[in-house]
């Protein structure tokens, strides 16, 4: 941060500009409580560019964006981001400022020219492509000649802030924000809520920063419960900013009319999550069931997957899925399992997110080692990882790892899969717990998954079973019952994925 320079005081002006040296950019922290762990790659939540200095928390609701030369504004920004558990983004000029650029005594210096030209717009290196995920943006900057540096104007004019709340703050030696806040507000749409700003001195304490944050009643990003199941709405908020139902229908082995009928039964029973895939050969039927249901499209969440034989031409495969289903957009697309050119296929899905074809993207059948190898090569953090999970194959080491990355876990074969369902539903522990609650063994298993934070997509063509598989909220398992269920783990995988 640059020292405040009072225009009438040349001496202070010289001190202020000379203090704003062109320091090397401080590397942003790459870990967070939700999105990233110390061992995880620095990725963005959906739509954000990790290479641009964005510390991605995954909550996807509050962003602290700042411009700083000497580090003073950066100090305030980092403190605020920590207190709010927010993402942080450093606004970096494409052409860094040199000491000569910031010489107030030289009328022709770059800094003086820009500040004297209201139309000046220094180019920013990088961008926050996922700006749509944020509700609130804290915007920090130093004061130059009583105004914000023109690069802040560039930032505000680079995104659609409509409907968002912007909270400006500045750092300076002595002067206040002056008209900088008002002038910046004028660059935003009328639908922006612009809160009163605050000036901080270079030595502002964390107590002062916290008092300011508390006075605005800004909810911490974690309060939005990304990755936490809401049993009232029966949804989970993904790191992409979209809500997904926590139970639904898997359509593996369902085809044609049987698939349409099953989708219809799910939607009539109040279910809203449908899982399909290219290799299920039923995307057309799923789309038909959705279109003919009479349920508004925005209430339905449809997942499909690209199979490895599509990875070489993923962009075309995405368009093919859209054409087959004919439902406007895909809520979630996954890579079916690792394969040759999976990174390139994922990048095609990232582009489809930018193009509005897909809302969220993720992976299926990726485990710890696969994720450790894969994630450093991509930009958008997966919203969902879908793996085989049931009482005989619990992935108790994998689930927490994925969830600690801010990724939602979804389980296929929750009832054991074809050829194994009978044994699982007849397990003595499970049937005893079911009898104690007056529910079915299938409901016990599905509820066990939900209480572990695992989304369930049991497959069925039986309307009665489909309704039963959605009826999971009239009871809950005790800690002792959860422990008994957890003790059933055999590490017994029922499919090769």
> Can you say whether the dihedral through the CA atoms of 439, 440, 441, 446 is positive or negative?
negative
Pairwise CA distance, residues 15 & 70, whole Å:
12
Sheet holding 249-250, edge to edge: 249-250, 273-275, 301-306, 330-335, 358-364, 384-388, 408-412, 454-456
Pairwise CA distance, residues 54 & 45, whole Å:
10
CB 352 within 8 A of CB 314: no
Measure the CA dihedral 348/350/352/355, to 10°.
-130
Alpha-helix residue ranges (DSSP H) falling in 275-364: 283-291, 314-325, 342-354
Pairwise CA distance, residues 157 & 155, whole Å:
5
Cβ count within 10 A of residue 48: 26
Pairwise CA distance, residues 223 & 453, whole Å:
17
Find tokens 């009832």 and name the residue. 415
Q: What is the DSSP letter of 467?
A: H
For residue 334, give both structure tokens. 């996954």
Helix (H, G, I), strand (E, B) or coil at 393: strand
149: Cα within 13 Å, side-chain hemisphere: 31
280 catalytic residue (yes or no): yes
Pairwise CA distance, residues 27 & 20, whole Å:
18
Selection from 16, 20, 28, 126 nearest residue 77 by Cα: 28
Pairwise CA distance, residues 244 & 359, whole Å:
11
Pairwise CA distance, residues 354 & 363, whole Å:
18
Compute the radius of gyration of the chain from its Cα atoms. 26
Among residues 104, 242, 280, 393, the one annotated as catalytic is 280
Find tokens 């039986």 and name the residue. 462
Strands 330-335 and 358-364: what pairing? parallel
Residue 250 burial class via C-beta count within 10 angstroms: exposed 0-12, middle 13-18, buried 19 and up: buried
The region that residue 201 occupies, defined by phi over 0 for left and psi between -120 and 50 for alpha, beta otherwise, is beta
Catalytic annotation, residues: 280
């Amino acid at each position: 941060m640059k020292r405040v320079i009072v225009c009438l005081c040349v001496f202070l002006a010289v001190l202020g500009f000379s203090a704003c040296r062109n320091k090397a950019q401080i590397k942003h922290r790459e870990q967070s409580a939700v999105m990233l762990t110390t061992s995880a790659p620095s990725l963005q939540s959906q739509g954000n560019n990790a290479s641009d200095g964005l510390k991605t928390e995954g909550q996807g609701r509050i962003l602290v964006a700042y411009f700083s030369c000497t580090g003073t504004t950066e100090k305030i920004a980092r403190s605020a981001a920590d207190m709010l558990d927010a993402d942080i983004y450093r606004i970096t000029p494409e052409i860094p400022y040199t000491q000569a650029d910031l010489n107030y005594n030289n009328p022709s210096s770059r800094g003086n020219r820009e500040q004297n030209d209201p139309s000046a717009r220094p180019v920013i290196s990088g961008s926050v492509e996922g700006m749509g995920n944020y509700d609130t943006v804290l915007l920090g900057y130093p004061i130059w000649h009583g105004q914000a540096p023109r690069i802040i104007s560039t930032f505000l004019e680079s995104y659609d802030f409509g409907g968002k709340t912007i909270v400006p703050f500045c750092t300076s030696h002595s002067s206040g924000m002056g008209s900088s806040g008002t002038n910046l507000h004028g660059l935003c749409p009328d639908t922006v809520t612009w809160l009163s700003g605050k000036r901080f001195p270079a030595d502002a304490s964390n107590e002062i920063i916290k008092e300011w944050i508390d006075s605005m009643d800004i909810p911490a990003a974690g309060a939005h419960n990304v990755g936490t199941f809401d049993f009232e709405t029966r949804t989970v908020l993904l790191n992409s900013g979209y809500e997904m139902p926590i139970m639904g229908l898997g359509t593996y082995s369902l085809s044609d009319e049987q698939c349409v009928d099953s989708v219809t039964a799910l939607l009539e029973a109040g279910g809203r999550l449908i899982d399909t895939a290219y290799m299920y050969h039923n995307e057309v039927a799923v789309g038909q069931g959705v279109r003919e249901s009479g349920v508004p499209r925005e209430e339905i969440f449809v997942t499909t997957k690209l199979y490895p034989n599509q990875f070489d031409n993923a962009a075309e495969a995405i368009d093919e899925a859209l054409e087959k289903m004919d439902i406007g957009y895909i809520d979630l697309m996954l890579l079916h399992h690792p394969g040759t050119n999976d990174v390139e296929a994922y990048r095609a899905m990232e582009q489809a997110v930018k193009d509005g074809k897909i809302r969220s993207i993720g992976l299926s059948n990726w485990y710890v080692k696969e994720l450790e190898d894969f994630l450093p090569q991509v930009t958008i953090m997966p919203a969902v990882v879908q793996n085989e999970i049931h009482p005989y194959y619990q992935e108790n080491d994998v689930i927490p790892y994925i969830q600690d990355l801010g990724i939602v876990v979804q389980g296929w074969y929750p009832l054991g899969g074809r050829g194994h369902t009978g044994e699982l539903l007849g397990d003595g522990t499970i049937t005893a717990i079911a009898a104690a609650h007056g529910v079915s063994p299938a409901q016990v298993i599905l509820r066990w998954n939900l209480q572990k934070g695992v989304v369930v997509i049991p497959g069925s063509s039986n309307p009665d079973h489909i309704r039963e598989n959605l009826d999971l909220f009239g009871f809950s398992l005790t800690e002792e019952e959860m422990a008994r269920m957890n003790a059933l783990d055999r590490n017994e995988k029922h499919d090769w994925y």
